[in-house]
Amino acid sequence: MLKQLMPYVTLLSLLVITTNCKQSTNGNHQDGLDEVKQPYALVIHGGAGTIRRGEVSEEKEAKYTDMLATVLKNGESILKNGGSSEEAVVAVIAMMEDSPLFNAGRGAVFTHDGYNSLDASIMNGDDLNAGSVAGVSKIKNPIKAALAVKDKSDHVLLSGAGADEFSIRLSLEVVDSAYFFTQDRWDRLQHILSEEKETGSINIVNPDDKYGTVGAVALDRNGNITAGTSTGGMTNKRYDRIGDSPIIGAGTYADNRTCGVSCTGHGEFFIRYHVASDVTKRMQYLGESVEIAASTIIENLEEVGGAGGLIALDKNGRVAMPFNTSGMYRGYVNADTLVTAIFGEE
């Protein structure tokens, strides 16, 4: 008799655990007990890494906080006035690509050969349509190139010179390579190259050189979710390396039935474990909340040596922003509140 009842006991246990799992509202996620559906919501990230209070100047902290808030307010304006989740995601990611603060677009890091190689992706949760580009170097806003691949081609992923050519044919804004130059990113590359020369090693990599990405997930008034991610990749990367950001299912995923996800971290791990889509599948198959699914995956990733974080937004507008590094630039906004955070204790 007990054996026959076991499936029901297991299901009841899961329901009890989920119901009693109170989640903090400290800027990392929202209260999981709040079942009120938000009319719209937006969550963003600007990369994860070794970001500790006291090691970041007050001036720099203020710049990031102000930028995160500005981006969120811009995205909220679009969603509040009836704009689509896709419009909001493209707009806010383009804003972060235009800022030298983030490793995407204008603030992208340099490859080993001293140029900028950019990746981006976008996915709609209503029809699972997606587009991405990898290794582009001429397009001002790679997220717009990813959108063009989704809407104007029969493909999902274009790369390198072909992706640049495709984008140029569609009249996307082209910039000279000098546009992407920032002194601190250049100096960082020179420091690594100098270390390589002194030691004879070609494997000198600071973990923080792997984690720079920007991303956004939005829910609009029609219940549609869109997720997007953009990055300059890894400092000193060689051999046309591509990380998780342009890989649908690894760095970006969206499904209206569950949630949208954008990742930031050591891309090889996010690719191997298909992190972005795994969040949606845990919600779909296990019945987990967005916060439990997202947090569990980031915890499991840390156990196998993967560092980074993700942002996720479910169909009711609930947010999760877990990470296993010391900090992650992040924030969310909905009809009730706006939150920004940087450090792990927030």
pLDDT in tens, the chain (346 residues): 433 444 433 333 333 333 333 333 334 544 443 467 999 999 999 999 878 887 778 899 999 999 999 999 999 999 999 999 999 999 999 999 999 999 999 999 999 999 999 999 999 999 999 999 999 999 999 999 999 999 999 999 999 999 999 999 999 999 999 999 999 999 999 999 998 888 876 665 555 555 579 999 999 999 999 999 999 999 999 999 999 999 999 999 999 999 999 999 999 999 999 999 999 999 999 999 999 999 999 999 999 999 999 999 999 999 999 999 999 999 999 999 999 999 987 7
Residue 213 annotated among the catalytic residues of the structure: yes
pTM (2 d.p.)? 0.88
Q: What φ, ψ does residue 122 adopt, rounded to 5°?
A: -150, 145
CA distance 221 to 79: 7
DSSP notation for 238-296: -TT---STTSBTTTEEE-TTSEEEEEEE-HHHHHHTTHHHHHHHHHHHH---HHHHHHH
CATH 3.60.20.30: does it fit domain 38-343? Answer: yes
Helices 160-169 and 142-152 pack at an angle, to 10 degrees, of 80
Written as one string, the DSSP assignment of 102-138 is SSSGGGPPP-TTS---EEEEEEETTT--EEEEEEE-S
Residue 95 is predicted with a pLDDT of: 98
What token pair was written down for 193? Answer: 């190259």
> Domain spans of the chain?
38-343
* Annotated catalytic residue within 111, 182, 213, 325: 213
Neighbours of 165 (CB within 10 A): 13
pLDDT at 80: 98
